[in-house]
Structure 1
């Protein structure tokens, strides 16, 4: 019902209460000083006593306030008051008994304890008692009244302050309304001030681009201007001149902008010329010292130390000049040598090209004794050992020297040119100044030296060298971390092969094809099919077919799979020239058939064309086997020829002719007219794919062979007069097939099956013709 904080207003009366209660409860009357020593009893008469040292009688005073138990509710408060009134009545009765005891003893009361002349009435006592019991709460009421008065004062003062603030706000609004136009004018003035300040700054900046010309012109034309490039602050001239040129180009409408642009460009050209001349002079001074020492020593290690270690140390001593050189290069090329577009790219790139030219010329001149010694060593090894061994050692030596040159170049110019076909790249800039020294952009010296030595060697030696280079430097083991040297050699090898050695090898193959296949003389003894040796299918092939197999295997060995499989002109020419040569042999066999009936031209073509086709399928072109393989791909080849369609094809033919254009994958061949069971001669010439042309000739030969032997079998079965017996025909067929395809039962079985199909088709066609008649 009441807050605890209210008790803080109650005065501290506990001490007084405890004292009064203690004296009342523990009071004992003192022993009388008048008592006789013989111990008289209290009933004996006594004399009147003087005033005792007793507490004054306070029966008429209001009771002392006590801290009652806090009431929980109004009804509880009523019980508390009744209990307090009961306690006060008990105290009053106790005081009256004490007074009677004193009267009984005849003790006179003190004057202060004497009652008044009249006793108060009961109603008055009840009012006093009620006032005494409510003393504490009356105090609380006074305090609350005082607090209420203070709060009323605060409320009144707050209301006054709010009214004052409202008055002030109204005044401010009135002032703001009256000064809005003035404020707008002030804002306009501030905006105009900012605009003028910005304009002044721009004008000052623009004037700076104009004012810089006189200072830079005097510095570049001074007598000691050549010494400016030896200090790093020369880069500031290049940077500021670039900025001025860019500004004049962007603000061509400014006054005298074109004139200032031309003068700034002239200043940039002058500054770049100073850089170029300073670097060239620096290299010449170093070269005059290094070249003499290299020429005078015979030790390979000493030459290497002078050419790279000492040269690098002397060049980098001019750190200010080298920093300016690198600054010029970075204005037109990135760290990988790719061009960086810019307003002054042409000026910088021309200077960089001249710097690269001066550097390569001086390096080539200084290392001339080293490169000449490498060439002498290569020529000696070629003569004493072999061209292949000498070429391998020479390539290794050139790759090592090229890597050293690339490392030195990167340290000096802070750029590592990568291969690029862009005419503005640093790689092309280096490549245009090729000398005898091998570097990252110059592999021509290696190719020139190798080609001069490989001109007179066998084709197999060239293929061995190309295969070694590919396996040694291109087919890296990616499980290990690839070093910088390996990456450098990889780039050199790719360019060496693509730009020089592969075209050189193609030319060598072309010459070998012309000599061994195109111009090969056909001897009469080769126009027959001998027995198979050791089960090797190609052992009884014609020498032209054997040479074709050899060239295909060598080309696959020398070239990567991607190059030998994707429309290689060399592969096409090998197959094409082989087909033409076999056709010439077939024609010659047919011309001599009357004198020597033993050779079978159709079987001869089937045998040799199947060997070439099997090699193409086996290589993919690619998979070269170490030993001579049998015709393991004959089933795939036979399925390509589609023999399952032969029966229906034969049944649809009346007469003895067959248009093989239906079998050809070439539309031109399909539309060509047939002559004597074979397509027109011009149809094959229109087929550009050598593999398709090979398949077409195989179809022709297989059809001619099976048609002829099918007719012989039908004649033997008919029992006509003069015809051979079926057993004799089958025995001759077996002998021919065994001679051509001994140890290859799959080929013989497929051909016999095709002969039977052809014979059945001819029989049905003949029966239908008779029935029609």
Structure 2
């Protein structure tokens, strides 16, 4: 314990010298109590000096403690600031490292992006190339499918919906080979596609002939059974043929629309024409010949025979004309050849009667009758066109009797010369 503390304890009573709540009063040289104590001091000068020194030392120590405390606090703050600066510098180093890393990542990302763009462009190019290759190979790849389908036994599959699409695909394949003559081996594929098309149209011809043959055999069986009369004749000779007429017309149209520039297709269509006209001639000619023979035997008058037989033949010819165009889309020359062959029995009878006819007025009326056939047909055509019923040129019935008209005119000239 210091002398000042002892002095205070012995003389002045307890003096607080700790650094607690009383520490602030020690900053002053003397407190009020100290002053009062000094004023009441009655000891010697030595004791006073000791007291003064003790008090001064306590004051110095008190000032030193505050200074030390401030110094320690400041040092602590300084150390903290230095730690903060060190940590900040370390953080800056880390940030620099991160920034450098980010720059590296950015460069690598850009390089990667460029590589991805290049790969994407290459992928797009390769995909387009693959699509082009697939497009170019598709027609050639279809050849095997065409061949397999066309080698199917029978001909009924030509009536399926997919058959027409197959023909259209064959057309496209043939056109493609023609448009790309520089392809390797394209001539072989073009030839094989042509062979497939010929095979496909040949199957249509076979189906058409088989269908007509079946109907003809059915009709002939009824004729052989004597089941043909005025009531059943139209049904047997025309209605049965019209049952499958729309389908057969579509099939023959497939051949017709491909005939231009291809003789083999023309030949196939010609076979259909020939088979049909022979079948119709085989069915109709005996009936017409018998009917004309009956008229010839019962009608000795030339004009009566001509009128009645022409009315009958007109009905036959128009029915045949309509039936023909229900099966074919074109073929005027074919149907006229058929009709001319059907009218031959009548023309032979009329020609014989004309040769033996001696009356000029009869020959004149016959010529007028035959000349009026064409005019009558033209008037009928105009009426029908106005109604919008027909979408094709109508039958020129007068054309069928041109040779008979010429015979009658020649005979009339001869008779007129005989009178002059």
Same structural fold, with TM-score higher than 0.5 when normalized by the shorter chain:
yes
The alignment status of 1:275 with 2:167, answered yes or no, reads no
Q: Report the CA distance shift for 1:464/1:242 in structure 2 as closer, same or farther (over 3 A).
A: same
Post-superposition offset of 1:196:
6.3
Q: In structure 2, how many angstroms separate the alpha carbons of the residues matched to 1:477 and 1:496?
A: 14
- Counting helix residues as a fraction of each chain, which structure ranks higher? 2
**Which residue of the other structure, out of 137, 143, 147, is the alignment partner of 1:217?**
147
Q: Report the CA distance shift for 1:208/1:358 in structure 2 as closer, same or farther (over 3 A).
A: same
Q: In structure 2, how many angstroms separate the alpha carbons of the residues matched to 1:508 and 1:194?
A: 87
| Matched-pair contact (CA < 8 Å) for 1:229–1:274 | yes
RCO greater where, 1 or 2, for CA within 8 Å and sep 6 or more?
Answer: 2
| Matched-pair contact (CA < 8 Å) for 1:469–1:493 | no
The alignment status of 1:500 with 2:417, answered yes or no, reads no
Structure 2 match to 1:437:
342
Post-superposition offset of 1:330:
4.8
Post-superposition offset of 1:461:
2.3
**Which residue of the other structure, out of 336, 353, 358, is the alignment partner of 1:453?**
353
Structure 2 match to 1:58:
none
Structure 2 match to 1:246:
175
Structure 2 match to 1:389:
304
Listed as ranges, the matches of 1:220-231 within 5 Å are: 220-222=150-152, 224-231=153-160
Q: Report the CA distance shift for 1:232/1:445 in structure 2 as closer, same or farther (over 3 A).
A: farther
Post-superposition offset of 1:252:
2.3
Which deviates further from its counterpart, 285-294 or 483-492? 483-492
Q: Deviations over 1:665-686 (max 9, x none)?
A: xxxxxxxxxxxxxxxxxxxxxx
- For residue 242 of structure 1, give the secondary structure of its aligned residue in structure 2: helix
Q: In structure 2, how many angstroms separate the alpha carbons of the residues matched to 1:489 and 1:261?
A: 38
**Which residue of the other structure, out of 235, 253, 268, is the alignment partner of 1:329?**
253
Listed as ranges, the matches of 1:139-538 within 5 Å are: 200-222=130-152, 224-295=153-224, 296-297=226-227, 299-313=229-243, 315-316=244-245, 323=247, 325-330=249-254, 332=256, 342=260, 345-383=262-300, 386-413=301-328, 415=329, 417=330, 426-431=331-336, 436-437=341-342, 446-458=346-358, 459-471=360-372, 474-475=375-376, 482-483=383-384, 491-497=395-401, 499-509=402-412, 511-512=414-415, 516=418
Q: In structure 1, how many angstroms separate the alpha carbons of the residues matched to 2:317 and 2:380?
A: 26
Q: In structure 2, how many angstroms separate the alpha carbons of the residues matched to 1:454 and 1:463?
A: 11
**Number of residue-to-residue matches in the alignment:** 301
Q: Report the CA distance shift for 1:479/1:276 in structure 2 as closer, same or farther (over 3 A).
A: closer
- For residue 342 of structure 2, give the secondary structure of its aligned residue in structure 1: coil
Q: In structure 1, how many angstroms separate the alpha carbons of the residues matched to 2:307 and 2:380?
A: 25
Post-superposition offset of 1:381:
3.6
- For residue 482 of structure 1, give the secondary structure of its aligned residue in structure 2: helix
Post-superposition offset of 1:198:
5.3
Q: In structure 2, how many angstroms separate the alpha carbons of the residues matched to 1:395 and 1:293?
A: 27
Post-superposition offset of 1:390:
0.4
- For residue 274 of structure 1, give the secondary structure of its aligned residue in structure 2: helix
| Matched-pair contact (CA < 8 Å) for 1:216–1:267 | yes
Which sections of structure 1, spanning at least 5 residues, go unmatched?
1-181, 317-321, 334-339, 418-425, 439-443, 517-542, 548-773
RMSD over aligned Cα atoms = 3.9
Q: Deviations over 1:6-25 (max 9, x none)?
A: xxxxxxxxxxxxxxxxxxxx
Post-superposition offset of 1:500:
1.9
| Matched-pair contact (CA < 8 Å) for 1:381–1:389 | no
Q: Deviations over 1:635-663 (max 9, x none)?
A: xxxxxxxxxxxxxxxxxxxxxxxxxxxxx
Q: Report the CA distance shift for 1:455/1:243 in structure 2 as closer, same or farther (over 3 A).
A: farther
Q: Report the CA distance shift for 1:479/1:355 in structure 2 as closer, same or farther (over 3 A).
A: closer
- For residue 300 of structure 1, give the secondary structure of its aligned residue in structure 2: coil
- For residue 383 of structure 2, give the secondary structure of its aligned residue in structure 1: coil
Q: Report the CA distance shift for 1:268/1:430 in structure 2 as closer, same or farther (over 3 A).
A: farther
- For residue 260 of structure 1, give the secondary structure of its aligned residue in structure 2: helix
Q: In structure 2, how many angstroms separate the alpha carbons of the residues matched to 1:455 and 1:400?
A: 26
Structure 1 match to 2:110:
none
Structure 1 match to 2:95:
none
Q: Deviations over 1:229-258 (max 9, x none)?
A: 242322122222222222222322221121
Post-superposition offset of 1:481:
7.2
Q: Report the CA distance shift for 1:341/1:281 in structure 2 as closer, same or farther (over 3 A).
A: closer
